[in-house]
């Protein structure tokens, strides 16, 4: 698991789940074997063998092809990309790919709709080299959240900067899910 995290150069995304009383809930963090099994259609949660239960789930970031193009366009003042400050979550299970242009099955109801995150610059290696987006959803329905992404539109459509798919985070009505998504330039 440690070596997997070393491969996450473009920063990470962190997930924290709390219940209606604000008490932290455990999340499943897959290791390499767990990810391979899930992609093969078998999600086996065997502690220490396929992953661990943690209070803060860390997941690697995937910048999409559109995300790379948009980043370069924004830096050079070209193109018509808006700012990428909106986070969305979904229930899709197909592995994220660089060619993705949208979440597979974006949640739009039950408190899980896309929205603007609080954006800031933080330091990873060099002063202010990392953008950090933080958003909290409070649910009024139950979902098995399995994907997350950054978009430049606050409601629907738009351009997808980053996308990732992970082992299910089961949320119930009253739960709150906080996502801290970081990407480094």
Tell me which residue range forms the domain holding 130: 2-184
> What is the number of domains present in the chain?
1
- The pLDDT score that the predictor gives to residue 6 is 36
Mean of pLDDT values over 48-68:
90
Whether residue 139 is predicted with pLDDT greater than 70 in this model: the reply is yes
CB atoms within 10 A of CB 14: 16
Mean of pLDDT values over 116-145:
94
50 vs 185, more confident? 50
18 forms beta bridges with 24, 176
pLDDT tens digits, 152-181: 998 889 999 999 998 899 999 999 999 999
Mean of pLDDT values over 42-71:
89
- The pLDDT score that the predictor gives to residue 98 is 92
- The pLDDT score that the predictor gives to residue 3 is 35
pLDDT tens digits, 101-112: 999 999 999 999
pLDDT tens digits, 67-96: 999 988 988 988 888 999 999 999 999 988
């Amino acid at each position: 698991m440690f070596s997997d995290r070393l491969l996450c150069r473009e920063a990470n995304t962190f997930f924290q789940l709390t219940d209606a009383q604000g008490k932290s809930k455990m999340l499943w963090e897959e290791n390499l074997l767990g990810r391979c099994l899930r992609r093969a259609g078998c999600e086996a949660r065997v502690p220490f063998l396929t992953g661990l239960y943690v209070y803060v789930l860390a997941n690697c970031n995937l910048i999409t092809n559109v995300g790379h193009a948009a980043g370069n366009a924004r830096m050079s003042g070209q193109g018509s990309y808006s700012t990428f400050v909106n986070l969305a979550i979904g229930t899709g299970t197909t592995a994220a790919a660089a060619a993705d242009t949208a979440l597979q099955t974006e949640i739009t109801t039950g408190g899980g709709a896309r929205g603007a995150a609080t954006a800031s610059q933080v330091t990873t290696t060099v002063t202010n080299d990392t953008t950090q987006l933080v958003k909290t959803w409070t649910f009024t329905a139950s979902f098995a959240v399995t994907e997350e992404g950054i978009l430049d539109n606050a409601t629907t459509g738009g351009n997808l900067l980053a996308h990732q798919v992970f082992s299910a985070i089961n949320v119930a009505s009253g739960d709150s899910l906080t996502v801290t998504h970081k990407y480094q330039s």
